[in-house]
Structure 1
Amino acid sequence: MRGILGWGVHLPYRRLDRTAIAPVAGAGGGTGTRAVASYDEDTTTMAVAAARAALHREGESSRGDRGRLADTIRTLWLTTTAPAYQDRTNATALHAALRLPRTTAAYDATGAVRSTTAALDAALTGTGTHLVVASDLRTGRPGSADESAGGDAAAGLLVGDGTDGAPVLAELLAHTSTTEEFLDRWRTPGDQTSKTWEDRFGETRYATLATEAWDAVLAADGKVSDDIDILLVAGTHERAVKSVLKKTGVSAARHHDPFTRTVGNSGAAHPALLLASALEVAQPGQTIVLLVLADGADAFLWRTTEALAFYRPARPVADQLAESGSVSYGRYLAWRGFLAVEPPRRPEPARTSAAAAARAAEWKFALVGSESADGATVHLPPSSFDTAPHPAAGSEGTIVTFTVDRLAYSPSPPVVFAVVDFDGGGRLPIELTDVDAEEVAIGMRVEATFRRLSSADGVHNYFWKARPVRRTGGRTERESC
């Protein structure tokens, strides 16, 4: 039996009110909000957050030690349409941040929304344990439908047969696929935004392909439409998704998508995001179909197991939907590079040294400090006199003092810098993110988060920052979809 062993989701803290778009751009917008990755987030940093959540298990060290489960991962997949790098593997940074064994292979599957279903299929048809992390930044021209309907997010799915210490939570019953060459959406290398063909053409092609995949996946396990408890349909063609939902014959009450008015369509991340969200509200023994429309159609049929009743996600989707702060449309345009703003009059950062980064990889990518031989003292960053590692990436801490710097270079000033005492030991001066300067206070609780400090000469400088700990009531009980 192969299926889903765990999942993790990352929704950026910032949300853009769609009603703010039209007064500036003259078109576009709508109702609700869309998720916006911060200036220091990209598909790699969001993937790290989602993957760490997918590997979390209750009872593990809060310091973020990787645990035995991570050591069993055979392959790590990172899927996206917006990779931080080309001509190099982005998944290696994710591999380093998770402290995976050197024997764990790390691969990218990039360029198309369908990359996620390809990686998921490879994980499900393989052997051993695999981690598929889908992360995407969705950007459209100002005032476009892509801009308002899109959303930034990441989701990780841990796939295996339950023999490596984690039970199967959702068993795969069948997977069917249909493919046809037709022009619906495209973006040439170097372009920031996509182009689309006329809507009716794409709707017609997807309706045919999706119907074939839908009928085949039901027939593969002897199911009919009324047997499906939760239906998920992912695709960037909005009209096609609505049309296919009707053609399945599954009642609207069983359709699941809490993201349309809150987060938006997250492209390559959306299939994994929908599945993770559905599993959080599903009951054991329910049947779920994930139907993905992207250059063809893929249908995955799942059945949840009894083990699902005992699984608690690290950061539930409902909590992350409730934990949000606003961002102005002007700042969003600046973050995306559509609005050139005057930077602080300070020297821009220099290119990061490859040699220096390699020497300090455990500290730089995984926030691993050190402990003295007797365990009484923790050093962040690590001390050459210590011999024991001290993983701090999963730790929370308390701000003991802070400063707001309005002169230092930043793509989104001001810079808020704090001195944090981490639980379990260690004091570290660290930049804050996902926070407004006026809300910072001594005594505030924060947690570490993997971010991009700067980019120079095409080289991204990744390290850890801290963000406020925001809780909206803790774990949520399972409820009927």
Structure 2
Amino acid sequence: MVVASDCRPAEPRSEFETLFGDGAAAFLIGDSDVAVSIDGSYTTSSEFMDVWRLEGERYHRTAQDRFVQLEGYVTYVPQAVSALFQKYSLKAKDFTKLVLAAPNARRQTEIARRLGFDVNTQLQDSLFSTVGHTGTASAPMMLVAALEEAKPGDKLLFVNWSDGVDAYILSVTEQIEKVRDRRGIKGHLASKMMLPTYGHYMRFRDMMQTGGPEGETTAHRLWREHTQILRFHGHKCRQCGAIQYPMQHVCNYCFAKGDFEEIRLSDRKGPVFSFSMEERAPVPDLPMVMVVVDFEGGGRFFTRLTDRDPKTIDIGMPVELTFRYMHEAAGIKNYFWEARPVRC
């Protein structure tokens, strides 16, 4: 599996605050029944300092913008793509789509035209206007978006830029139809929520002191209960069939002792059974909404509801689970499972 993920905080009131976005993409690599085949590639390496961040620093650094683009991106990307064309005797017209990483939309369009591509029909959307520039994940996310629309037989040119250029010739196979059910880029964009204020953004980015008690954790507790905390496993009583979380020695329903089957609950959905709202709580997004979820197939879970609009919460609303960062304590970053409205 290849995973690309990035979250780059931008310095407040900088131009990058409106440009940057967060995102991730993942691909399974194999040699049989593939949805996309790699038919060729060309790679160049260049120790070109354009964007970097020192260890321990919160915000990134960048060289002078015009220098970075003209001496770096605009120079090396066309050279690499031209070398790929020559190596495999190809032209721009041989490709259905060009997936081209770029520092901004203007440079992407400029280079695509220079390489002979039709920017109206062949150039893949950069996602800058809907997601933002997601750094490491930018080009992989564009590739995912292109594959969501691709048809068997399509040929894609995938070009990424970072300390050099990687260019790949990709062919879409019949197997692409088997992965159409992914939520992907379209699904996430269709179900995204807008933050109501800049203050919300500042609090979510931990750029504003909000106070409140610090969380608690211990390494031995995380080790002892990792199947419940990280994998979100519960258990099913072999005597009465009741599903319970957290795991206990005695069944809450039939009082059988120690006769359970461990089961996974992280992929379950269900309706909201009850909920409450707390207007004064140490969370970045008030009110804090707590819900009891009735899992499909049995079991209940009491947790926080995130990615929600308090005005639309109601009994019976379908929710799913999501793995989220909770707090840092004792030098440990703690994650746990929360509920959120089901995304399309």
Conservation of the 8 A alpha-carbon contact between 1:415 and 1:431: yes
Aligned residue for 2:230, secondary structure, equals helix
Q: Does 1:228 align with 2:98?
A: no
Conservation of the 8 A alpha-carbon contact between 1:138 and 1:146: no
What do residues 68-89 of structure 1 show as CA deviations (whole Å, max 9, x unaligned)? xxxxxxxxxxxxxxxxxxxxxx
Once the two structures are superposed, the pairs formed by residues 93-172 of structure 1 within 5 Å of their partners are 131-162=1-32, 167-172=33-38
Q: Does 1:368 align with 2:233?
A: yes
* Larger RCO of the pair (alpha carbons < 8 Å, separation 6+): 1
Q: CA deviation at 1:297?
A: 1.1
Q: CA deviation at 1:238?
A: 5.5
> What's the counterpart of residue 145 of structure 2?
277
The runs of at least 4 aligned residues of structure 1 exceeding 4 Å deviation read: 237-240
Q: Does 1:437 align with 2:303?
A: no
Q: CA deviation at 1:309?
A: 2.7
Q: Does 1:296 align with 2:161?
A: no
Distance 1:284 1:375, change over 3 A: farther
> What's the counterpart of residue 261 of structure 2?
388
TM score, norm. by length of structure 1: 0.66
Conservation of the 8 A alpha-carbon contact between 1:209 and 1:296: yes
Picking from 194, 213, 230, the partner of 2:80 is 213
Once the two structures are superposed, the pairs formed by residues 1-20 of structure 1 within 5 Å of their partners are none
Q: CA deviation at 1:280?
A: 0.6
Aligned residues: 333
Aligned residue for 1:275, secondary structure, equals helix
Task: Supply the distance in 2 between the matched residues of 1:228 and 1:260 (Cα, whole angstroms).
Answer: 23
Q: Does 1:189 align with 2:55?
A: yes
RMSD, aligned CA = 1.9
Once the two structures are superposed, the pairs formed by residues 401-412 of structure 1 within 5 Å of their partners are 401-412=274-285
Distance 1:375 1:283, change over 3 A: farther
Task: Supply the distance in 1 between the matched residues of 2:182 and 2:106 (Cα, whole angstroms).
Answer: 34
> What's the counterpart of residue 453 of structure 1?
326
Task: Supply the distance in 1 between the matched residues of 2:203 and 2:179 (Cα, whole angstroms).
Answer: 40
Aligned residue for 1:394, secondary structure, equals coil
Conservation of the 8 A alpha-carbon contact between 1:174 and 1:220: no
Distance 1:355 1:443, change over 3 A: same
Distance 1:432 1:224, change over 3 A: same
Aligned residue for 1:428, secondary structure, equals strand
Distance 1:435 1:224, change over 3 A: same
Q: Which stretches in structure 2 are left out of the alignment for 5+ residues?
A: 250-257
Distance 1:388 1:220, change over 3 A: farther
> What's the counterpart of residue 28 of structure 1?
none
Distance 1:317 1:375, change over 3 A: farther
Picking from 171, 174, 185, the partner of 1:317 is 185
Task: Supply the distance in 2 between the matched residues of 1:383 and 1:297 (Cα, whole angstroms).
Answer: 54
Rg comparison, structure with higher value: 2
Q: Which stretches in structure 1 are left out of the alignment for 5+ residues?
A: 1-130, 472-481
